[in-house]
């Protein structure tokens, strides 16, 4: 019977982060996943490792640590960092107070306020009237999720000896015994990272956290003429949604204005993020709709709202949508993550917000320290 120090159930970014944290400490690790390849939220997002704007407290702290690990690991894993930094361009007067207030917090360290002209040095196609004031952050990095997650898994397998069991369902966990479709495995400790699968392992424990699912729509846009975005781009809608800004008292007037002037966008949970891939295409999104079982259909009206904000911010006439897709992730009304403890040797870890790629490495280290003891 195969035996390991750690078994990780789930090979999304959160599962891989736990495997990495344990493997770096010399632990023997197996990762078990029901799919043949990465297929969930971890490969359907922007690959935008976001620090600035994450909620104050441990979300921001975890994002800072995760960003460090991404930066340290990407090159060794063959993962290209295709963009660095972020420009949040704002056109509303009320946004200026939010930007200034944010810069006055510890989370604003290293960030600066830009004029429209300075913002255009980063984003040449940025409309001047969309950048009355802009927030620049140097902290963000962007990877291509669809290739980064498989490359990270290969790095763990080839460089750290992590074993992967793909196309393998886990039917029961009673540490040290893990029952799988391929037979029984033993592990000293188990971390279950089920993403938004709430009806499988430990369903009754997960249900206690009042989790649901969030569905998002995303697009790939091809500019007619080549354009270079030196950083990722966001807009006023981000100030009204990302909790690092939106929870500031100064954000209240802006949110009121957004609710009035961009009512449909707010009702559909839309905020603009634009990142650029190595081939020059732009990843654009996203929207947020919540349900226990979201419908699988994409709305053209929602896409039109996202593209409307895109066109208000960036001057790219003739741009063409070349790809559309849906994603889902776990969501909870009162927390951005949770770690549940069925026993001394088992943890259930779920990120209940759209910041898994931005925080997973920090969370993984926390869990492994809890299970195996902190490293001095």
* Cα–Cα distance, 66 to 61 (Å, whole number): 9
Query: What does the pLDDT average to over 287-298?
Result: 96
Could you check whether the bond before residue 117 is cis, i.e. omega within 30 degrees of 0?
no
Strand (E) or helix (H) holding 146? helix 145-160
Q: Which among 28, 12, 41 has a CA at the least distance from the CA of 294?
A: 41
3-state secondary structure 306-329: HHHHHHHHECCCCCEEEEEEEEEE
The length of the chain, given as a count of residues: 376
Q: Could you report the per-residue pLDDT of 110-140, keeping only the tens digit for each?
A: 999 999 999 999 999 999 999 999 999 999 9
Q: What pTM was computed for the model? A: 0.96
Strand (E) or helix (H) holding 90? strand 83-90
Contact at 8 Å (CB) between 74 and 264?
no
Beta partners for residue 326, in sequence order: 217
Q: How many CA atoms lie within 13 A of 114 on its CB side?
A: 24
Q: Could you report the per-residue pLDDT of 154-191, keeping only the tens digit for each?
A: 999 999 999 999 999 999 999 899 999 999 999 999 99
Q: Could you report the per-residue pLDDT of 209-230, keeping only the tens digit for each?
A: 999 999 999 999 999 999 999 9
Main-chain dihedrals φ then ψ at residue 365, nearest 5 degrees: -65, -40
Query: What does the pLDDT average to over 218-246?
Result: 97
How far, CA to CA in Å, does 231 sit from each of 91, 126, 171, 327?
A: 18, 11, 44, 23
Q: What is the pLDDT of residue 39?
A: 83
Strand (E) or helix (H) holding 83? strand 83-90
């Amino acid at each position: 019977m195969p035996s390991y120090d750690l078994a990780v159930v789930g090979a999304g970014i959160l599962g891989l982060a736990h495997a990495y944290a344990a493997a770096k400490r010399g632990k023997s690790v197996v990762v078990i996943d029901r799919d043949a390849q990465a297929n969930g939220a971890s490969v359907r997002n922007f690959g935008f490792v976001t620090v600035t704007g994450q909620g104050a407290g441990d979300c921001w702290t975890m994002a800072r640590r995760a960003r460090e690990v991404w930066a340290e690991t990407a090159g060794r894993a063959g993962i290209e960092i295709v963009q660095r930094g972020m420009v949040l361009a704002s056109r509303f007067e009320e946004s200026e107070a939010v930007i200034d207030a944010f810069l006055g917090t510890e989370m604003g360290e290293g960030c600066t306020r830009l004029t429209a002209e300075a913002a255009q040095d980063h984003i040449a196609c940025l409309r001047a009237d969309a950048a009355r004031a802009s927030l620049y952050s140097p902290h963000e990095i962007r990877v291509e999720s669809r290739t980064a997650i498989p490359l990270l898994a290969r790095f763990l397998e080839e460089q750290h000896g992590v074993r992967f069991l793909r196309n393998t369902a886990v039917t029961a966990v009673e540490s040290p015994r893990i029952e799988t479709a391929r037979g029984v495995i033993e592990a000293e400790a188990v971390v279950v990272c089920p993403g938004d699968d709430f009806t499988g392992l430990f369903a009754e424990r997960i249900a206690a956290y009042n989790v649901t699912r969030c569905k998002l729509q995303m697009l790939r846009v091809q500019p007619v003429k080549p354009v270079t975005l030196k950083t990722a781009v966001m807009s006023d809608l981000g100030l009204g949604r990302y909790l690092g800004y939106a929870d500031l008292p100064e954000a209240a007037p802006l949110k009121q204005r957004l609710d009035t002037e961009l009512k449909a966008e707010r009702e559909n949970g839309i905020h603009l993020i634009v990142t650029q891939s190595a081939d020059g295409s732009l990843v654009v999104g996203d929207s947020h709709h919540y349900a226990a079982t979201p419908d699988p259909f994409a709305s053209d009206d929602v896409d039109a709202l996202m593209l409307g904000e895109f066109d208000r911010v960036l001057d790219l006439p003739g741009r063409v949508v070349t790809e559309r897709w849906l994603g889902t992730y776990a969501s909870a009304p009162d927390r951005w993550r949770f770690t549940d403890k069925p026993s001394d040797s088992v943890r259930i870890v779920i990120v209940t917000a759209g910041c898994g790629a931005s925080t997973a490495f920090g969370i993984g280290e926390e869990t492994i320290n809890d299970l195996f003891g902190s490293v001095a």
